[in-house]
Chain A
Amino acid sequence: AQKVTQAQTEISVVEKEDVTLDCVYETRDTTYYLFWYKQPPSGELVFLIRRNSFDEQNEISGRYSWNFQKSTSSFNFTITASQVVDSAVYFCALSGLFGNEKLTFGTGTRLTIIP
């Protein structure tokens, strides 16, 4: 069975601060994918990143960066110099391959950026 844990239910930071969202996962698959999605107040899930289990390189995209550590089964997400528009619920998700591509989501972290 697959499981994703996002222990932080809610986080509030002041604008321009950096913030890290934690994600820990469990899977028996040797090959899998990890994802982060953003759900703004409008409700639509927005894809942010996909990471293959074979690729442990960290990735940076503008103010966003992701730290994948297979040894600790974690896939953390950092927003640098946060902005009010970053306020949303962020979900970490996990999927397998070869017919097991359904997503298993965590319970989400609600991020509020205070102006």
Chain B
Amino acid sequence: DTGVSQDPRHKITKRGQNVTFRCDPISEHNRLYWYRQTLGQGPEFLTYFQNEAQLEKSRLLSDRFSAERPKGSFSTLEIQRTEQGDSAMYLCASSLVSSGDYNEQFFGPGTRLTVL
């Protein structure tokens, strides 16, 4: 039984470059969430998917950010024209949500992004 995995674990990039992160959820989970965590803060919600549908996006998700979950399995988060303020840990979580039932979110190890 594998947990949530994320790739890469670390990414260093120069300002203005594009980066893409991948998240593989727990296989039977239909919900997938992206969060961002900066130093000394709790994670902040970015967006989430129910299967392949993106149902909500936070105001934190500017036009430079795009997320996909094309087949309802893995998800990618792309940041275009990175800025130093994008430096953070990007966390992915998954859960199983069904009618009348609620289950906790399980988190991956995160991708730490450093923008120089």
Contacts and interface: CB of A to CB of B under 8 A. Distances in A.
Interface of A: 4, 33, 35, 37, 42-47, 50, 91, 93, 97, 99, 101-108
Contacts of B102: 33, 97, 101
Nearest to B105: A103
B109 A44 contact: yes
Interface residues of B, number: 26
Contact of B40 (A44, A45, A106, A107): A107
A19 to B, nearest CB: 19
A47 B56 contact: no
A102 B47 CA distance: 9
Contact of B110 (A4, A43, A101): A43
B42 A91 contact: yes
